[in-house]
Structure 1
Amino acid sequence: MARHTIWSRKQVAARILQGDTLIIFHGQLLNIPKSWLDAHPGGTLALLHFVGRDATDEIEACHLEHTVALIPRYSIGTVELTDGFWAPLVPPIATGWVRRPSAADGTLQWHKEAVELLSDDPSNKFTPASSILLTENFSSTAKGQGPTLASLQPPPSTLSLEQQARQSRAYRELHKRVVDAGLYQTRYVAGYGPEIARYALLATLSAYCYRHDWLVPSAVFLGLFWHQLVFTAHDLGHMGVTHNWTADRIIATVIADYIGGLSIGWWVHNHNVHHLVTNHPSHDPDIEHIPFFAISPVFLDSLWSSYYKRTMPFDAFARIVLSVQHKLFYIVMAFARFNLYANSYAYLYQKYFDTRRATGGWWAWRLEVAGIAFFWLWFGGVLYGCGSWQRALVYLIISHAVTSPLHVQIVLSHFSMSTADLGPGESFAHRQMRTTTDVICAPAVEFIHGGLHLQVTHHLFPRLPRHNLRKASALVKAYAAEHGLTYAEFGFVAGNKEVIGTLRAVADQVRLMGTVARAEVEEAVEKRNADAVVKVVKEAVANGSAKAAVAGDVQCVSPAANGIPLVLP
């Protein structure tokens, strides 16, 4: 269709219902073909979450300039705007609809993988009226039908679309100021020079101590080496170092896979979704930690994860763990790296059976698999060289536990922030500032946090080299003050208290649910016993043997009926 075509909101909705992936970018209507949907470096979900929505800010924040210049090639026209902005639709994936090949002929058909869990208490801060959460669809009645025009209409929201549009325009001006200030230029010498020296020192100290059989210090230095090195892997995953996708991905693979044993492909796929749907309980994988953590009571409804494609069950095990999650927080964090291994290898395993394979084609996937094998070859040799399985186990645990402050730091930036879904009309900047906080840190020691304690600014500008985040944050704070937005930040200790408080609040609710459940069970048992008394008495009266019943079975049961003995005339 001609690019000068003007599309109405109703026409856009009709095409979405037919299965087209339509996204708005600077007033242009983009039709993303399936070939690119499958090959998109940011993953399929990064696109599906913005079907029917204006993704201008997200696209420009996450893509290089030369990539943004190529995007209009997918334009099939412009869209009708109301007062200068687009009234968003709800992406089908937000209501549990996805496209899957049919078993019969392989054609794509709509599949209802989850059902909406809408708010019945609009005043609840966790589930406002605009909230759409998902639970697994156990019914087959909706399969083969597809979403409807009604399902594309957003629930009522307290947000003003006009105000969100103003904030969006202001964010673009802020982005231009960041670009004009040269903050996208990587500081190779002043920024990465000291870091490379630090990496080399920690690796050397670990090797030196290991050679002298000082295993505990060696494990500590190795853990610190991994802890520091992952910050550069993070930069590379965001194309924030060389600003060339292939070069950054190769370097990142060497660091993450070969040296750290983690899949950079998995991390990028996971992290991109996190940046786009930050803190959404059904869509952000970075807060979906059932059965170990639940940062909102909504997780107690056994939500569906659109990322992991599974239910996050609030079962008996989760009930036990979550009731003490605030007490287990640091223990779980000490072993968090093992969870990263599990996610990494599951991702690579799944990609083996995926004809789309990993981003970048065969070479990226093969390079990663080779890297994981290399990692366990050298690290396995380190463990074997410890001399005994007991010493090897100590080395393994210490080296991994030392990296835990990194995991604590990352969750501090989100766990205590809002998890409410304010609807598809929320602007990119508003959502990031509502769901993210900084950890206050003195410049002299910010290398410990890798510069990523400035998470608010990082979430607004994901590709920004982290050595420039502090300068950029000053511009962001001015922007927030000008537009009435909250720039959240607190110290490391205060942040820990906030997170523990959030976990404790949900744990208290879990325990309360257990108390209520036990009371209901006791009430049901008492009612059952009372019903049994009445039944026996009625049978006894009918048989003319009421006295025998009273003297026998009924007398034994009747006290359970509210403690009142049954006396027959």
Structure 2
Amino acid sequence: MGATTVWSRDQVAARILNGETLIVYDGHLLLIPQKWLDAHPGGSLALLHFVGRDATDEIQANHQDDTMKLIPRYSIGRVELTDGIWEPFLPPIAAGWVRRRGSGGKMEWYKEAVEVFAKEETEFTPSSSVLLVENAATHSQASGPTLSNIQPPPSPLSLKQQARQSKAYRELHKRIIDAGLYKTRYITGYGPEIVRYTLLAFFSAYAYSHQWFITSAVFLGLFWHQLVFSAHDLGHMGVTHNWALDRIIATIIADFIGGLSIGWWVQNHNVHHLVTNHPSHDPDIEHIPFFAISPAFLDSLWSSYYKRTMKLDVFAKIFLQIQHKIFYVVMAFARFNLYANSYTYLYQKYFDTKRARGGNWAWRLEMAGILFFWTWFGRVLYGCGSWQTALVYLLVSHAVTSPLHVQIVLSHFSMPTGDLGPVESFPHRQMRTTTDVICAESIEFIHGGLHLQVTHHLFPRLPRHNLRRASELVKQFAKEEGLTYAEFGFVDGNHEVIGTLKHVAEQVKIMGQVAKVEAKEAVEKKMAATDAMLGIAHKNGNGTHSAH
């Protein structure tokens, strides 16, 4: 990074307000051009959430060495540091501001959402919390954000302490690298996995050939359940560590065999890893109208990922009041929601930039994969002989994958969702919002090794077969830094999640009761006022009659 210009905090703020995408990395100021913002493999949101912030840890955790070598070309100089620390801004997107092309093709500021600050200090809405609700105004805001919009609220965290934890995390990362834990265990790791996949697929096909359709559906579901763990690794570039090769293999697994878009999953999952458990930004906890894991969702928040309001409408109120009772039922059909998200993503990508559509072989390969999937799976359903049997086969095969969805939410649903602001360091945020599921080594294949979510969130590209060894180093790091390494058993984890859902359900019920009382009082007041008016009118009427 040869640029020698030093940028002050005020100068950085001015350029951000002027519409530039500026990110701090290792003391350098990176200027991200619009073309790269549009074509970034991890999605534009992965960059926009770090405008004005130091993203050194996040960048190093999520990128290969070859990609890191490209970073110097984006540097426009260094930034002024105070005691070696960069004081972060609140990214414009966190304040509801985004850039869009106007009618003349020029990029303009647009206020898509309005900030909601904590009315009172709670575990769900700390004083540093910045949530979003939809902006009632629909026109483009050419004036753009002001300096006050990108100044974060005071945080309960110490910036110096967070910087110290960040430094300790980088030292931990070096120990992980030196221990060779980024090396993929192709034989001892993926060897048994491939054997398992092959057997499950064989048993499904064998049962189907004998018209044991339910048995076949169960094995197919188990096949999908296990195979998705490898798709996860590939999406993180954690297998061959080559983006193109990992994406091709991932597309074969996810799209051709599973009918799901790996492109959508990577984009969704990257955002989840970067803004974990933030109610307005993390798509992995935004499940209105079926689930709400924080009372904050009861304010009809805006989702910066889905670009819509998560409305607390009548439908949501009904489901949220019983969400702890229907949790496993909804999880049984969760795969259908993945289809919807996948195909919505692929449809939107069709209208994306030229590089993301016509010049992107990955998109075309995915489309071919989805077509192939529904061709072979449609043939499987047709071969069941009747629509009733085909329906049962469809439901059973998809329901069998539900333990995967349960496992994923266990690691986050019961953890804090409060926003501690951009001051919070990468390791602190990941360890605060993520927990492990305790599991014996002999049966961890059931969880795909991803029950060690704390370590995975700290080192997303780490091959999952090495997570257990890495977790020992992470636990030592947590002890040294005074951080909590959260973990609980599978049963206890389920109890925690159900308890969280029940708590919010009770809040919804209370809201309903309060609304009924207020409505009753309003009616009573109106009736009393009406009676009073009628009484006055009657009295006046009698007086007039007597006088007459």
TM-score norm. by structure 2 comes to: 0.98
**1:349: which partner in 2?**
347
**1:71: which partner in 2?**
71
For 1:11 and 1:542, the matched residues in 2 are separated by: 74
Residues 366 and 442 from structure 1, CA distance in 2 versus in 1: closer, same or farther, beyond 3 angstroms? same
**1:273: which partner in 2?**
271
- Contact kept, 8 Å, 2:38 with 2:353, in 1: the verdict is no
Spell out the pairing of 1:15-94 with structure 2 (5 A cutoff): 15-94=15-94
Residues 543 and 127 from structure 1, CA distance in 2 versus in 1: closer, same or farther, beyond 3 angstroms? same
For 1:360 and 1:503, the matched residues in 2 are separated by: 44
**2:185: which partner in 1?**
187
Match of 1:412 among 393, 410, 413: 410
Q: Which amino acid aligns with 1:109?
A: E
How many angstroms does 1:363 deviate by? 1.0
How many angstroms does 1:545 deviate by? 5.8
- Contact kept, 8 Å, 2:96 with 2:114, in 1: the verdict is yes
For 2:194 and 2:204, the matched residues in 1 are separated by: 15
Q: Which amino acid aligns with 2:172?
A: L
Which has the larger Rg?
Answer: 1
Q: Which amino acid aligns with 2:267?
A: H
Match of 1:254 among 252, 255, 271: 252
Residues 532 and 276 from structure 1, CA distance in 2 versus in 1: closer, same or farther, beyond 3 angstroms? same
Q: Could you list the per-position Cα deviations for residues 69-119 of structure 1 after superposition, in whole angstroms to 9, with x for gaps in the alignment? A: 21011000000101111000010000000001111x110010000000111
**1:560: which partner in 2?**
none
- Contact kept, 8 Å, 1:265 with 1:359, in 2: the verdict is no
For 2:303 and 2:157, the matched residues in 1 are separated by: 25
Q: Could you list the per-position Cα deviations for residues 248-289 of structure 1 after superposition, in whole angstroms to 9, with x for gaps in the alignment? A: 000000000000000000000100000000000000000000
**1:189 match: secondary structure:** coil
Spell out the pairing of 1:389-408 with structure 2 (5 A cutoff): 389-408=387-406
**1:386: which partner in 2?**
384
**1:275 match: secondary structure:** helix
Spell out the pairing of 1:110-509 with structure 2 (5 A cutoff): 110-121=109-120, 123-140=121-138, 143-356=141-354, 358=356, 361-509=359-507
How many angstroms does 1:480 deviate by? 0.2
For 1:274 and 1:10, the matched residues in 2 are separated by: 30
Residues 434 and 306 from structure 1, CA distance in 2 versus in 1: closer, same or farther, beyond 3 angstroms? same
Spell out the pairing of 1:85-104 with structure 2 (5 A cutoff): 85-103=85-103
- Contact kept, 8 Å, 1:97 with 1:110, in 2: the verdict is yes
**1:168 match: secondary structure:** helix
- Contact kept, 8 Å, 2:109 with 2:140, in 1: the verdict is no
For 1:78 and 1:345, the matched residues in 2 are separated by: 42
Q: Which amino acid aligns with 1:116?
A: E
Q: Which amino acid aligns with 2:220?
A: L
How many angstroms does 1:538 deviate by? 1.1
How many angstroms does 1:362 deviate by? 2.6
Q: Which amino acid aligns with 2:119?
A: D
For 1:533 and 1:405, the matched residues in 2 are separated by: 60
Gaps in structure 1 of 5+ consecutive residues: 549-569
Gaps in structure 2 of 5+ consecutive residues: none
**2:69 match: secondary structure:** helix
Q: Could you list the per-position Cα deviations for residues 40-85 of structure 1 after superposition, in whole angstroms to 9, with x for gaps in the alignment? A: 1111000000000000000000000111121011000000101111
- Contact kept, 8 Å, 1:263 with 1:345, in 2: the verdict is yes
**1:11: which partner in 2?**
11
Q: Which amino acid aligns with 2:73?
A: R
- Contact kept, 8 Å, 2:438 with 2:488, in 1: the verdict is yes
How many angstroms does 1:540 deviate by? 1.5
**1:108: which partner in 2?**
107
Residues 542 and 250 from structure 1, CA distance in 2 versus in 1: closer, same or farther, beyond 3 angstroms? same
**1:339 match: secondary structure:** helix
Residues 30 and 146 from structure 1, CA distance in 2 versus in 1: closer, same or farther, beyond 3 angstroms? same
Q: Could you list the per-position Cα deviations for residues 291-332 of structure 1 after superposition, in whole angstroms to 9, with x for gaps in the alignment? A: 000000000000000000010100000000000000000000
How many angstroms does 1:361 deviate by? 3.7
**1:558: which partner in 2?**
none
Bigger mean CA deviation after superposition, 134-143 or 453-462: 134-143
**1:151 match: secondary structure:** helix
Q: Which amino acid aligns with 2:46?
A: A
For 1:190 and 1:118, the matched residues in 2 are separated by: 51
For 2:306 and 2:507, the matched residues in 1 are separated by: 26
How many angstroms does 1:354 deviate by? 1.2
For 1:109 and 1:547, the matched residues in 2 are separated by: 71
Q: Which amino acid aligns with 2:399?
A: A
For 2:358 and 2:469, the matched residues in 1 are separated by: 33
For 2:506 and 2:435, the matched residues in 1 are separated by: 24
How many angstroms does 1:355 deviate by? 2.2
**2:519: which partner in 1?**
521
How many angstroms does 1:454 deviate by? 0.2
For 1:154 and 1:169, the matched residues in 2 are separated by: 22
Aligned residues: 546
Q: Could you list the per-position Cα deviations for residues 400-426 of structure 1 after superposition, in whole angstroms to 9, with x for gaps in the alignment? A: 000000000000000000101000010
TM-score norm. by structure 1 comes to: 0.94
For 1:311 and 1:140, the matched residues in 2 are separated by: 14
Residues 403 and 141 from structure 1, CA distance in 2 versus in 1: closer, same or farther, beyond 3 angstroms? closer
- Contact kept, 8 Å, 1:265 with 1:358, in 2: the verdict is no
- Contact kept, 8 Å, 2:58 with 2:426, in 1: the verdict is yes
For 1:164 and 1:542, the matched residues in 2 are separated by: 75
For 1:207 and 1:546, the matched residues in 2 are separated by: 94
Q: Identity of aligned pairs, percent? A: 73
- Contact kept, 8 Å, 1:440 with 1:490, in 2: the verdict is yes
For 2:482 and 2:545, the matched residues in 1 are separated by: 79
Q: Could you list the per-position Cα deviations for residues 196-229 of structure 1 after superposition, in whole angstroms to 9, with x for gaps in the alignment? A: 0000000000000000011111000000000000
Q: Could you list the per-position Cα deviations for residues 426-464 of structure 1 after superposition, in whole angstroms to 9, with x for gaps in the alignment? A: 000000000000000000000000000000000000000
